[in-house]
Amino acid sequence: NFLLVPLVVAAMFTFLPADQAVRIGVLLVLLCPCVDYVIVFSGLAGGSSRRLLAATPLLLLTQILLLPVFLVLFLGSDLSDIVDVGPFVTAFIVLIVIPLALAWATQFWSARTQSGRSASAAATALMVPLMAATLLVVVASQVPKLEGQVADVAAVVPFYVAFLVVMAFAGLLVARLCRLDPPAGRAVVFSGATRNSLVVLPLALALPDHLAVAAVVVVTQTLVEVVGMVIYVRLVPRLLPAATDTSPAPA
């Protein structure tokens, strides 16, 4: 996630649309590994969800620390002239740190009381509808700001598709080089391919108005990725077959 993925992004960066907002959106979303629904999709493909879950805090902390470094490497030292740090920090605290703290508090509560378990179950059941609603609201709010940039947003779709294709084989290579068992190997493939769009989205929304299209670029990646994950669930078990495959058979 923090070695191969930046190299893949660097290889495609030169060919991205020249619009600065589009490039920032692509960097924000592709440089940060997923820490949420990757666990579900990996489990559906017979991947080791438990190992992914255990790695989640490390993945989240590392991307928080490295994202500013990556942005400077890709965009140059004049990043501060492009992006105002203040709104970024505010968005990070209000829309990432506080919800994360509330999530941990909910887990603590659910582990100790029946009412907490009920609240946690309700939150879990609402997760997918809320995610879909979030994507729809963000897209609806940002579309009026596109102002002729629809072509630039559409132009990043092939890059997102290419990323999914490349990372499938990159993950397979890592799994084989490290001699991972099939469940661990499948988890590695999914972790390398899925991105943390819903976590970095608040950062994209905190950008100034002239960079507003970055949020749409981030959401576009999510839409492409969800389709890609449906394909991954069927494909990855074939790339990394187990002696006794317990992954669900294709419908």
Task: With beta carbons less than 8 A apart as the criterion, state whether 213 and 19 touch.
Answer: yes
CA distance 66 to 2: 8
CA distance 238 to 82: 44
pLDDT in tens, 185-196: 999 999 999 999
| Token pair listed for 57 | 């805090």
What 8-state DSSP symbol labels residue 94?
I
Of 207, 190, 202, nearest to 93 by C-alpha is 202
Residue 25 pLDDT > 90: yes
pLDDT in tens, 151-175: 888 999 999 999 999 999 999 999 9
Quick check: is 250 in a domain? Answer: no
CB neighbours (10 Å) of residue 58? 10
Query: For the whole prediction, is pTM greater than 0.75?
Result: yes
CA distance 32 to 202: 13
The more confidently predicted of residues 77 and 22 is: 22
Supply the mean pLDDT for the chain: 87
- Establish how many alpha carbons lie within 13 A of residue 249's alpha carbon, considering only the half-sphere containing its beta carbon: 2
- Percentage of the residues of the chain whose pLDDT score is greater than 70: 91
* The pLDDT of residue 26: 96
Q: Is 195 in a helix, a strand, or coil?
A: strand
Quick check: is 89 in a domain? Answer: yes
Task: With beta carbons less than 8 A apart as the criterion, state whether 5 and 67 touch.
Answer: no
pLDDT in tens, 130-149: 877 877 787 777 677 666 77
CA distance 237 to 47: 9
Mean pLDDT along residues 85-92: 74
Range of the domain at 151: 4-239
Quick check: is 251 in a domain? Answer: no
State how many domains the chain has: 1
Quick check: is 248 in a domain? Answer: no
CA distance 123 to 127: 6
Quick check: is 188 in a domain? Answer: yes
What 8-state DSSP symbol labels residue 131?
H
- CA distances to 35, 145, 248 from 47, rounded to whole Å, are 15, 40, 11
Instruction: Assign residue 46 a region (left: φ > 0; alpha: ψ between -120 and 50; beta: otherwise).
Output: left
Quick check: is 12 in a domain? Answer: yes
* The pLDDT of residue 90: 80
* The pLDDT of residue 27: 96
CA distance 219 to 146: 13
Quick check: is 227 in a domain? Answer: yes
H or E segment at 148? Answer: none
Question: For residue 29, what is the domain's CATH number?
Answer: 1.20.1530.20
CA distance 71 to 78: 10
| Token pair listed for 59 | 């993945």
